[in-house]
Amino acid sequence: MLHTVNKSPFTNNSLDSCLDCVGNGAAVLLIEDGVYGALKGSKVADKVKAAMGKVTIYALSADVKARGVADKMIDGIKMVDYAGFVELAAENDKVHSWL
Amino acid sequence: MKFTIQINEGPYQHQASDTAYQFTKAALEKGHEIFRVFFYHDGVNNATRLTSPPQDDRNVVNRWSALAEKHNLDLVVCVAAAQRRGIADADEAKRNGKDADNLAPGFRISGLGQLIEGGIQADRLVVFGD
């Protein structure tokens, strides 16, 4: 299952809720302000790193670049472009948007 | 693979419509089918042809119209959400006693059943909102 999170974890708890619910082997894609969830050294970074043991976390590269945080991403977060987003949506049997 | 896209937010205030547009474009470029794009809630504001953004900014509405024309997309606007927000085609304007209509080319107004059908007929329903 693919989960998309589009909110900053500093204004909203959707990333937190998402990580509490995801199943093993799921994919989590951070888009829009959601990419702030992939920031190194933030107060949510430990939870994100811990989740990376059971799910793969991706960030949408255009949104990362637009916010100037490309060099501040947690190691192991995978960058995807829009084509990669489409691929993730196709590969996973369902897409859930944490709006 | 067949996708239905749902958009719940209007242009410029939120990124939802931009992300949905880029996703839709990328899906078409990869050879996927877009079964339908459904505009719901404030998302119906993506369908007014009266927007005039600055020339150096993206035109969210025209961009959808152009993509629809190029790929023969089915852009559906929820009728109840549209009525509340003053989005009308000629028929809706007449039916509601309005003196103007504003639906952009390539969009059509219909009911929520179109979203349900989109969810059933497509392999994936991807929702963009805030």
> What total number of domains does chain A contain?
1
CATH of segment(s) B2-128: 3.40.1260.10
- Angstroms from B3 CA to nearest CA on chain A: 9
Intra-chain end-to-end CA distance of chain A, in Å: 16
Interchain contact, A99 vs B29, CB within 8 Å:
no
Residue A82 belongs to domain spanning: 2-98
B15, B21, B28, B123: which to substitute to probe chain A, counting the most A Cβ within 10 Å? B15
Residue of B nearest to A86 (CA): B27
The predicted pLDDT at position A37 comes to: 98
What's the Rg (C-alpha) of chain B?
Answer: 14
Distance between CA A54 and CA A52 in Å, rounded? Answer: 5
Domain boundaries of chain B, sorted by first residue: 2-128
A29, A80, A81, A82: which to substitute to probe chain B, counting the most B Cβ within 10 Å? A82
pTM of the model: 0.98
Establish whether B53 is a catalytic residue: no
Per-residue pLDDT band at A47 (split at 50, 70, 90): very high
Choosing from B78, B82, B115, B122, the catalytic residue is: B78
Distance between CA B68 and CA B74 in Å, rounded? Answer: 7
A5, A60, A86, A92: which to substitute to probe chain B, counting the most B Cβ within 10 Å? A86
| Percentage of chain A exceeding pLDDT 70 | 100
The predicted pLDDT at position B83 comes to: 98
CB pairs under 8 A between A and B: 50
Closest CA to B97 of B109, B88, B105: B88
Interchain contact, B26 vs A82, CB within 8 Å:
yes
- Angstroms from A74 CA to nearest CA on chain B: 23
**Residues in chain A within 8 Å Cβ distance of B22:** 62, 82
The position carrying tokens 């702030």 is A36
Give pLDDT tens digits along chain B (130 positions).
Answer: 999 999 999 999 999 999 999 999 999 999 999 999 999 999 999 999 999 999 999 999 999 999 999 999 999 999 999 999 999 999 999 999 999 999 999 999 999 999 999 999 999 999 999 9
- Angstroms from A35 CA to nearest CA on chain B: 13
The CATH number of whichever domain residue A49 belongs to comes to 3.40.1260.10
Distance between CA B130 and CA B128 in Å, rounded? Answer: 7
SS3 A53: coil
